[in-house]
Amino acid sequence: MKTERAFKYRFYPTPEQATLLARTFGCVRYVWNAVLRYRTDAFYERQKKVGYNDASAFLTQLKKQPDTAFLAEVSSVPLQQCLRHQQTAFKHFFAKRARYPNFKSKKHRQSATFASSAFSYRDGQITLAKCKEPLNIRWSRELPATPSTVTVSQDAAGRYFISCLCQVDTEALPITPQMAGIDLGLKDLFVTSDGKRVNNPRHTARYAQKLAKAQRQLSRKQKGSNNRAKARLKVARCHAKIADTRLDHLHKLTTQLINENQVIAAESLAVKNMVKNRHLSKAISDVGWGELVRQLEYKATWAGRQFVQIDRWYPSSKRCHGCGYVMASLLLNVRTWDCPSCGTQGIDRDVNAASNILQAGTALLAGGER
């Protein structure tokens, strides 16, 4: 089966390439903000919805103005791709799958997408448009095919990355009889139906002291000064270290789950609503439930596995896995309980919930009731 995959690498630009990329990022950001303002004003002032063709015509007029002549100094392909991305953002907004598009800031992550006409891939090297030499990419693995598009980005910590979109053949993993239900939590990242517990590493807490020190130093610097920019970079690097550590840990766990199990069942948690709890919001954001579920979903598709999410209101913790009896109430501090129906004693709350999640997930896959 053919599918599109993105392969991300870090690269180190020369001073000339860094200058060109900075101009490209700035032009892409300027076009995004200008067209977004044009769309917003057109709707509120004239009740007109601006489509991709009108936005492209507005960009053409923008390039002809003397004040915005700098837009012609960079490749036109990233600017046009910027309009396509904004059109997709509005499509998701009108379909109620996302919020209204935001204006971009130069303090956050910068990116520019190059189509096949704006770069060349020869002898394992990528050369962008208007660049005299190829990028110095740290190839951690070879590309399986010629990329159709590449996206160059710079994070808040100042690191450069390139993401290559390739069309590859996917092969399903051998079928295995193993199945797993996972119960997500905070003390343990998740507990499987066979009793395995994966500890929550609490990445933010590991770097909390270092991050707090860097943020205190940043708060003392004068706004607009070079020292403040250096201090801001230290804070961004600390946040990047936390994010990279969390992402690497989740990738290893999800890959192991996909390789070992044919069917994986989990809860469909409303993480955006749960982080509104001011007592648990930091811990919930740090654990990364949403990213864990997202990785399981697309990796299961690639590997030919089945991943299913049950209803969030299913009483997985209060229901006895042995007889199906549902407790009227079960406080959060109760970690083990006894079933008054079948007499089972010492029921582990988390393992019982994972077993019920697996049972409900397999019923869903079999076409049973939700």
Q: What are the structural domain ranges in the chain? A: 2-169
The total number of residues written for the chain in this structure: 370
Q: Which helix (H) or strand (E) holds 228?
A: helix 226-260
Beta strand extents in the chain (DSSP E only): 2-11, 110-115, 119-122, 125-128, 137-138, 149-154, 160-169, 179-184, 188-192, 197-199, 263-267, 306-310, 336-337, 347-348
Pairing of strands 347-348, 336-337: antiparallel
Whether residue 350 lies in the annotated active site: yes
Q: How far apart are CA 286 and CA 294, in angstroms?
A: 16
Confidence class for position 368, pLDDT limits 50, 70, 90? low
Q: Residue 314's closest CA among 261, 274, 276, 265?
A: 265
Mean pLDDT, the chain, rounded, equals 91
User: Which one of 41, 45, 183, 248 is the catalytic residue?
Assistant: 183
Q: How far apart are CA 232 and CA 215, in angstroms?
A: 8
Tracing tokens 């303002």 back to the chain, one arrives at 37
Around Cβ 29, how many Cβ atoms within 10 Å?
19
Whether residue 67 lies in the annotated active site: no
Please report the pLDDT score of residue 370 as a whole number. Answer: 47
User: Which residues, other chains included, contact 229 with Cβ-Cβ below 8 Å and sequence gap of 6+?
Assistant: none
User: Which residues, other chains included, contact 272 with Cβ-Cβ below 8 Å and sequence gap of 6+?
Assistant: none
Around Cβ 125, how many Cβ atoms within 10 Å?
13
With b for 16 or more beta-carbon neighbours within 10 A and e for fewer, the 299-326 pattern comes to bbbbbebbbbbbeeebebbbbbbeeeee
Least confident of 5-19, 213-227, 309-323: 309-323
Average pLDDT over residues 28-48: 92
Whether residue 54 lies in the annotated active site: no
Percent of the chain with pLDDT over 70: 99
Q: Determine phi and psi for 178, rounding to 5 degrees.
A: -70, 140
pTM score of the predicted model: 0.87
Residue 82: HSE in the Cβ half-sphere, 13 Å Cα cutoff: 28
User: Which one of 133, 291, 348, 350 is the catalytic residue?
Assistant: 350
User: Which one of 155, 267, 286, 291 is the catalytic residue?
Assistant: 267
Confidence class for position 340, pLDDT limits 50, 70, 90? confident
**Helices 226-260 and 208-220 sit at what angle, rounded to 10 degrees?**
160
Please report the pLDDT score of residue 334 as a whole number. Answer: 81
What are 7's two structure tokens?
């392969």
pLDDT greater than 50 at residue 68: yes
Confidence class for position 178, pLDDT limits 50, 70, 90? very high
pLDDT greater than 80 at residue 343: no
Cβ atoms 236, 211 nearer than 8 A? no
Please report the pLDDT score of residue 272 as a whole number. Answer: 84
